Structure 1
Amino acid sequence: MLRMLRMKRRSRSDNVATAAIVAVLVLIVHVTGLSEPEGRQQQQNLRVGFYSKSCPPAESIVHAVVKEAVLSAPRNAAILLRIHFHDCFVEGCDGSILIDNGDPSERPASAHSGVGGFEIIEAAKARLESTCPGVVSCSDIVAMAARDAVFLSNGPFYEVQTGRRDGRVSNQTLAADMPDVNDSIHLLKSKFRQKGLNDKDLVLLSAAHTIGTTACIFMDTRLYKFNSTGGSDPAINPRFLPVLKSKCPRGGDVGVRLALDAATEFVFDDLILHNIKNGFAVISSDARLYDNRHTKQIVELYTQNGTSYKHGKPPSFKAGFAASMVKMGQIGVKTGSEGEIRRVCSSFN
Structure 2
Amino acid sequence: MAAASSSSRSATAAGVLLAMVVAAVCLHGAAAQLCEDYYDDTCPDAYDIVKQVLMDAHQSDTRIFASLIRLHFHDCFVQSEKESPPNNGSARGFPVVDAVKAALEDACPGVVSCADILAIAAEISVELSGGPSWGVLLGRLDGKTSDFNGSLDLPAPTDNLTVLQQKFSNLSLNDVDLVALSGGHTFGRVQCQFVTDRLYNFSGTNMPDPTLDSSYRAFLSQRCPRNGDPRSLNDLDPTTPDTFDNHYYTNIEVNRGFLSSDQELKSSPQAQGTTAPIVDQFAGSQDAFFASFAQSMINMGNLRPVTDPSQGEVRTNCRRVNGS
Q: TM-score, normalised by structure 2?
A: 0.86
Contact preservation (8 Å) 2:126, 2:132: yes
Structure 2 distance, partners of 1:233, 1:109, is 28
Query: Once the 2 structures are TM-superposed, how far is the Cα of residue 40 of structure 1 from its aligned partner?
Result: 8.9
Aligned to 2:82: 107
Deviation at 1:229, TM superposition (A): 2.3
Contact in 2 for aligned 1:207/1:270 (Cα 8 Å): yes
**In the TM superposition, what is the alpha-carbon distance from 1:72 to its structure 2 partner?**
2.6
For 2:305, the equivalent position in structure 1 comes to 333
Per-residue CA deviation, residues 293-328 of structure 1 (Å, 9 max, x unaligned), is: 2111110112225xxxxxxxx962111111111111
SS in 2 for 1:162: coil
1:71 aligns with 2:59: yes
| Matching residue's letter, 1:320 | S
Find the aligned partners of 2:202 and 2:68 in 1 and give their Cα distance: 30
Separation (CA, whole Å) in 2 of partners of 1:176 and 1:119: 24
Question: What is the aligned partner in structure 1 of residue 296 from structure 2?
Answer: 324
Aligned pairs for 1:1-349 within 5 A = 42=30, 45-91=33-79, 106-113=81-88, 114-290=90-266, 291=268, 292-293=271-272, 294-304=274-284, 316-337=288-309, 338-349=311-322
Letter in 2 for 1:157: S
Report the alpha carbon displacement of residue 42 of structure 1 after superposing the two structures with TM.
Answer: 3.2
For the pair shown, the structure with the greater C-alpha radius of gyration is: 1
Q: Report if the CA contact (8 A) 1:40-1:330 is conserved.
A: no
List alignment gaps of at least 5 residues for structure 2: 1-25
Deviations for 1:195-241, whole angstroms, at most 9, x for unmatched residues? Answer: 12111111111111111010011112222221332111111012211
Q: 1:285 & 1:149 partners in 2: Cα distance?
A: 23
- Displacement of 1:39 after TM fit? 7.2
Residues 230 and 43 of structure 1: is their aligned pair in 2 closer, same or farther, counting only changes over 3 Å? farther
SS of the equivalent of 2:242 reads: coil
In 2, Cα distance between the equivalents of 1:110 and 1:281? 23
TM-score for the superposition, normalised by structure 1: 0.80
Give the deviation of 1:43 after TM superposition: 8.6
RMSD over aligned Cα atoms: 1.7
Task: Report SS of the residue matched to 2:234.
Answer: strand
SS of 1:163's equivalent in the other structure is coil
- Structure 1's consecutive aligned runs of 4 or more residues displaced over 2 angstroms after TM superposition are 38-44
1:228-277 Cα offsets, whole Å, 9 max, x none, are 32111111012211111111111111111000101101111001101011
Letter in 1 for 2:279: V
Aligned residues: 291
